[in-house]
Amino acid sequence: MQITPFGAAQTVTGSCHLVEHQGFRLLLDCGAYQGADEERNQEPFGFDPKGIDAVLVSHAHNDHIGRLPLLVRQGYRGRVYVTEPTRLILPVILEDSLKLMQEERERLERKGREAPPLPWDEQDLAELYARLEEVAFYQTLSLGPFRFRLRDAGHLPGSAFVQLEASGKTLIFSGDLGHRRKDVLADPDYPAQADLVLCEGTYGDRSHRPFAATLEEFTDILNEVLHQEGKVFIPSFALERTQEILFYLRELEQQEAIPIVPVFVDSPMASKISEIYAQVRDFFSTEVQHIYAQGRDPFRPQRLDYTQSVEESKALNLLKGPLIIIAGNGMLSGGRILHHLRLGLPDAKNAVIITGYQPRGGLGELLIQNAETVRMFGETVQVRAKTHTLGGFSGHAGRDELLDWLDSERRVALVHGEVDKLQSLGQALRERGKAAFLAEWGRPIEV
């Protein structure tokens, strides 16, 4: 058995790994590149899609599913195995991705520039949806020479890590591991001992601060800004992060720890995801399930409102504080949040709360570094609002959690992280007696 990375090798996005044994070819994830690596989506897969026998998907983030429609278009004919939440969420993510690609084509055409053809379309999506097959956690199934089991990765509802066995060897693929000690999702399961673990290292160079301290700081920021009638802007991913923030806003309101103010989620995709959450309540923590059982919505602060149209989004900028606006996208590389920040950053009463990963050189990093001005929409914007970074909200395991999760493993190949972060984690693993190394694109690894 061997595994070859064809994505997320010494970079954060584009998860895609080919496992081969006895002539059977199994693909783990087929994700899109994002951020600075986005142009790599135009590159060939590195393998022939027609020769793939089956696909296992760890979870529904775009960097793990975003090139599945392209795989189908280029000749893949097999099934795509997913958990129930992934099956429900996957169409929302991919249809939004297609919409953004179509809008970019229209923008180029309006400017008289040549627009490249779409890499995939609605027909490819329909074909993909027909291939989806649900798999339950902890169910052992066979695929060719492999036996596999999906276990809870604690990253999203239904997120999984994969345990593969064949010919007396065991391979574990981490997918994305969740951050322990939070309340919405159950903690990740621990892996069985394996001959090789292909493990993510997104935060391989640092641990998250204790979540209780993060929540205390979040409370203090909200109170300071809202009591001076300011606006709180939270750039957020439509899937998982938005709902988690809503969960804690509701909790803090219930505890009378923060004032009750209007909360706007300015993201049609987040609205769809929130509707799905109620359908997959069994995939949450026991606390969240208990709230649902009482007939309450765990993700609904008292004055919550979802905006849908562009007009509704623009109207938010006419409102006075105190209020909270949660909008995409979480990495500040586009989306409605940019329009709110363009108008809100010059006001010292306001605040920006960063709760997730920010790519190097992006707007988020500039705000974190206390830039006095930023360029947005072709103009210079004064930055007087404070920016706060709350890494404890991260959906990824921190360095200490990764080391704990890998404690019983002997041999680890690291993926899904920037090179310096993977090197840092690899050094820490080697100091603990592990054979740890960075996986390379297109280079097979024997299990």
Q: Residue 195 — pLDDT band, cuts 50, 70, 90?
A: very high
**pLDDT score at 67:** 98
Distance between CA atoms of 147 and 141, rounded to whole angstroms?
6
360 pLDDT higher than 80 = no
**pLDDT score at 412:** 98
**pLDDT score at 35:** 77
**pLDDT score at 334:** 85
Distance between CA atoms of 379 and 374, rounded to whole angstroms?
8
E strand residue ranges, 167-278: 169-173, 196-200, 231-235, 263-266
Most confident listed range (144-148, 333-337, 354-358, 375-379):
144-148
Distance between CA atoms of 335 and 23, rounded to whole angstroms?
44
**pLDDT score at 116:** 87
Q: How many helices (H) and strands (E) does the chain have?
A: 13, 22
pLDDT digits (tens, 9 = 90+) for 93-116: 999 999 989 988 998 888 888 888
Q: What is the mean pLDDT of residues 392-412?
A: 95
Residue 293 in tokens: 């059982």
**pLDDT score at 359:** 75
Q: Residue 420 — pLDDT band, cuts 50, 70, 90?
A: very high
**pLDDT score at 411:** 98
Of 66, 3, 7, 1, the residue nearest 415 (C-alpha): 7
391 pLDDT higher than 90 = no
Tell me the C-alpha to C-alpha distance, in Å, between residue 138 and each of 85, 143, 147, 160.
Answer: 15, 15, 12, 10
**pLDDT score at 243:** 96
Residue 170 in tokens: 């065991």
Distance between CA atoms of 295 and 254, rounded to whole angstroms?
16
Handedness of CA 330, 32, 392, 260 (dihedral sign): positive
Give the chain's domains with CATH numbers.
2-206+395-446 (3.60.15.10), 211-393 (3.40.50.10890)
Better pLDDT: 437 or 393: 437
Handedness of CA 10, 11, 15, 18 (dihedral sign): negative
Better pLDDT: 115 or 35: 115
pLDDT digits (tens, 9 = 90+) for 131-144: 999 999 999 999 99
Distance between CA atoms of 5 and 18, rounded to whole angstroms?
6
Please check whether residue 118 is in contact with residue 93, taking contact to mean a CB–CB distance below 8 angstroms: no
Query: What is the 8-class DSSP label of residue 31?
Result: P
**pLDDT score at 14:** 97
Average pLDDT over the chain reads 95
**pLDDT score at 362:** 86
Query: What is the 8-class DSSP label of residue 323?
Result: E
Secondary structure class of 348 (helix, strand, coil): coil
**pLDDT score at 36:** 78
pLDDT digits (tens, 9 = 90+) for 338-359: 999 999 999 999 999 999 878 7
Q: What is the mean pLDDT of residues 228-256?
A: 96
Handedness of CA 136, 137, 141, 146 (dihedral sign): positive
